[in-house]
Amino acid sequence: MKRHIISAMGAVLAMLAGGSAANAEGLGFQADYGRADGHWGTELGAGYSLGFGGFSLTPGGGVFLHNGGTRAFGRVEASYSLPASATLGIGVRVSSANTRPYATVALPLLPKVAIKGNAGPKYYALGLTIGY
């Protein structure tokens, strides 16, 4: 299980190394570990952030890797970024198993890199975002 997670994280980092030009246009990647669909696992996803001042709408999707299984998911988030501080928002995550609303908060670590947490009924995750 740990090798599976480490391999998946390595793949995401490799994609990011070649994607810096696209990141300037709102493309971003996310890698989380958390509980969703009744399982612990890793979420790997991508999305495109559409900004309007401090507000943004970010549709995206990815895969949830758990116990040797893989499940696709989609999500959309609406958020507001406080200058040089935090990004706060709400979202909804849709998979073949469940649709879950959640709250989200992201704290910047570096330009275009943030630690992010999502929490909602029977869904929570913590990880990194790169690009948006």
| CATH code assigned at 98 | 2.40.128
Length of the chain: 132
Ordered per-residue pLDDT tens for the chain, 132 residues = 444 444 444 444 444 443 333 333 589 999 999 999 889 999 999 999 999 889 999 999 999 999 989 999 999 999 999 987 999 999 999 998 899 999 999 999 998 999 999 999 999 999 999 998
What DSSP string describes 46-91? EEE-EEETTEEEEEEEEEEEETTEEEEEEEEEEEEEPTTS-EEEEE
pLDDT of residue 14: 43
Instruction: List phi, psi (to 5°) of 53.
Output: 70, -130
Model's pTM, two decimal places? 0.78
Number of domains in the chain: 1
**Which domain range does residue 75 map to?**
2-130
Q: Looking up tokens 């990647």, which residue turns up?
A: 29
pLDDT number for residue 84: 79
